[in-house]
Structure 1
Amino acid sequence: MTSHYFSFADADVVLRSAAPHATEFRVHKSLLSAASPFFKHMFALPQKPLSTACPEVPVIDVYEPKSTLEALLRFVYPTSRPSIDTLDELTPILEAAMKYDMVSVIDILRARLVAPDFARVAPTRVYAIACRFDLEEEAKVASRHTLNVNVLDCPLHDDLKHITAYAYHRLLDLHRKRAKAAQELLQLSEDVKCMQCNGARYHAFLPPKWWSDFHERAKQELAVRPTTDVVFSMPFLAHSAQAGCERCAGSILDAHWFLDQLKRKIDDLPSTI
């Protein structure tokens, strides 16, 4: 079987994908050599012609399946790039690009790996893949996105088999330290008041009832997801307003400056491995 995309008449080498759907890709040594030091060195060695369709052209058997090899070559050749819509599609292509040292393809796939539709939806998987291939910058980006999820309650995936205990510990350590630091910042300013909660003892500092509820739930939330996305959301604050007195909702509105400052302090905490 010959590839639909790669069946050039002037090809001087054939790459044959792995069984069971072995496919011949009739390509050019010059392009592969420019894209890959691996192939450049390989082509310096004598190649035995084995192609039945074109006996004068040497054939190289590779371990990649048809879909992976085709996608890889589409990144190398000046043709339409393949659409990579899932991490299951990206990982084998990235693995092949790493194997053949195709730097330009690796750079494209690194950017795709940390695109929002991957990093936000499956941050722990992205982190695991980045660590597997020693992509430190991408691992840092992914680690920031993991702050929005409970890393101890994420779906178990085979990607985690390929990372070290050290890499996983780094992620847990980030969550633990940031959660602790964020919880310690939950200190109420004495300028935040509630007319009804303070009542006759207005000159004595008593925390509004909404703060007591907010403080307790925020500590619990930050312990699991040490980010500000949930604890400063309207539903979260509304719950605290309802848990307080009749004037606590107004107190929360008046304390917007304090909540903004608190949010910024938490956001400024170290957020990557």
Structure 2
Amino acid sequence: MLRGYEFNASDADIVLVSNDTEPFEFRVHKCVLAVASPFFRTMFSLSQPNNPGKPGSAGASLPHIPVSEPKRTIEGLLQFVYPIPDPAISTLEEVTTMLGAALKYEFECPVASLRKLLVSPHFLQSQPVRVFAIACRFDLDAEAKTASQYTLRVNVLDCPLSDDLKHISAYSYHQLLDLHRRRSRAARELIVYFPESVKCALCTGGVHAMFRSPRWWKEFESRAKERLAIAPTTDGIFEMEFLAECANAAECQRCFESLCSAWPFLQEMKARIDALPATI
């Protein structure tokens, strides 16, 4: 969170009181909250009961509005709303808490900023299943679709159990599992054909072996299908390191040459797999 700025304006006309053991009072401006939030705009248009603060406290004569969120959450939302730097948010826990509050109070700009942050590369690459669950929890369809594509890189059934999954429906989770199942099956079906023009001078060079596939292909087919069964994405399996492992496992001195000659074909195969449906 931003340090060095306190919401204690001398010209404040409303006080938000946090829900903490020691409640914190944010002295803020109705006009700012009304512009940022239809929720507060409607609230301020209605007759308000006189709910002053503690006698002797700063702003005791101003209307006080108790909120159910702690200081850290309200402070972060106000930093989004006021013309000061946005809060520094580094965890999905913070995103979830603040996004829930922003949606509750209809803070439109904070919601937009938090939605972008939710699908930032840092979170998508490190915790895609959690991002998917959070997006589904708040009915963020676009973000859920984006996150579902990133989950293809992991084994969803082997991810750490997260409390975020408690807040999504069985339907949403089934959508994700169905995406993985369908794409995995379709991707593995694409790794079945090998062009007869690609041969290995050693392991398919004899008369009796000329109609066989090179040994490296058999290794590639087996290993690639195994990976696609777990994470249905082309990440890794068409990189040279993985292909070299397949060639070495074939135990054929000329298989690497054959593999290199098949590079255009392998790239076409990768493109066909990448073109498969990748989101819920």
TM above 0.5, yes or no, is yes
Q: Secondary structure of the residue that 1:231 maps to in structure 2?
A: coil
Report deviation, 1:54: 2.0
- Is the Cα–Cα contact under 8 Å of residues 21 and 66 in structure 1 kept in the other structure? no
Residue 178 of structure 1 aligns with which residue?
Answer: 183
Shift >4 Å, 4+ stretches: none
Are 2:257 and 1:250 equivalent residues in the alignment?
Answer: yes
Report deviation, 1:49: 3.2
Q: Where does structure 1 lack aligned partners over 5 or more consecutive residues?
A: none
Q: How many residues align?
A: 271
Report deviation, 1:201: 2.5
Cα distance in 2, alignment partners of residues 184 and 228 from structure 1: 13
Cα distance in 2, alignment partners of residues 192 and 22 from structure 1: 73
- Is the Cα–Cα contact under 8 Å of residues 49 and 55 in structure 1 kept in the other structure? no
Residue 36 of structure 2 aligns with which residue?
Answer: 35
Are 2:51 and 1:49 equivalent residues in the alignment?
Answer: yes
Residue 194 of structure 1 aligns with which residue?
Answer: 200
Q: Secondary structure of the residue that 1:112 maps to in structure 2?
A: helix
Cα distance in 1, alignment partners of residues 124 and 278 from structure 2: 15
What amino acid is aligned across from residue 242 of structure 1 in structure 2? N
- Is the Cα–Cα contact under 8 Å of residues 199 and 205 in structure 2 kept in the other structure? no
What amino acid is aligned across from residue 146 of structure 1 in structure 2? T
Report deviation, 1:203: 8.9
What amino acid is aligned across from residue 260 of structure 1 in structure 2? Q
- Shifted more, 49-58 versus 122-131: the winner is 49-58
What amino acid is aligned across from residue 60 of structure 1 in structure 2? I
Residue 144 of structure 1 aligns with which residue?
Answer: 149
Are 2:223 and 1:217 equivalent residues in the alignment?
Answer: yes
Residue among 104, 109, 118 paired with 1:104: 109
Cα distance in 1, alignment partners of residues 30 and 243 from structure 2: 63
Report deviation, 1:50: 1.5
Residue 263 of structure 1 aligns with which residue?
Answer: 270
Residue 117 of structure 1 aligns with which residue?
Answer: 122
Cα distance in 1, alignment partners of residues 277 and 185 from structure 2: 12
What amino acid is aligned across from residue 123 of structure 1 in structure 2? P
Report deviation, 1:202: 8.0
- Is the Cα–Cα contact under 8 Å of residues 69 and 101 in structure 2 kept in the other structure? yes
- Is the Cα–Cα contact under 8 Å of residues 195 and 202 in structure 1 kept in the other structure? no
Residue 94 of structure 2 aligns with which residue?
Answer: 89
What amino acid is aligned across from residue 132 of structure 1 in structure 2? R
Structure 1 residues 202 and 110, CA gap change in structure 2 (3 angstroms)? farther
Residue 21 of structure 1 aligns with which residue?
Answer: 22
- Is the Cα–Cα contact under 8 Å of residues 15 and 59 in structure 2 kept in the other structure? no
- Is the Cα–Cα contact under 8 Å of residues 27 and 59 in structure 2 kept in the other structure? no
Identity %: 52
- Shifted more, 41-50 versus 101-110: the winner is 41-50
What amino acid is aligned across from residue 71 of structure 2 in structure 1? K
- Shifted more, 36-45 versus 118-127: the winner is 36-45
Q: Secondary structure of the residue that 1:200 maps to in structure 2?
A: coil
Q: Where does structure 2 lack aligned partners over 5 or more consecutive residues?
A: none
Q: Secondary structure of the residue that 2:16 maps to in structure 1?
A: strand
Q: TM-score, normalised by structure 1?
A: 0.96
Residue among 241, 244, 267 paired with 2:247: 241
Q: Secondary structure of the residue that 1:195 maps to in structure 2?
A: coil
Q: Secondary structure of the residue that 1:25 maps to in structure 2?
A: strand
Cα distance in 1, alignment partners of residues 122 and 219 from structure 2: 34
- Is the Cα–Cα contact under 8 Å of residues 179 and 223 in structure 1 kept in the other structure? yes
Q: Secondary structure of the residue that 1:5 maps to in structure 2?
A: coil
Report deviation, 1:258: 0.7
- Shifted more, 57-66 versus 231-240: the winner is 231-240
Cα RMSD for the two superposed structures: 1.4
Report deviation, 1:90: 1.0
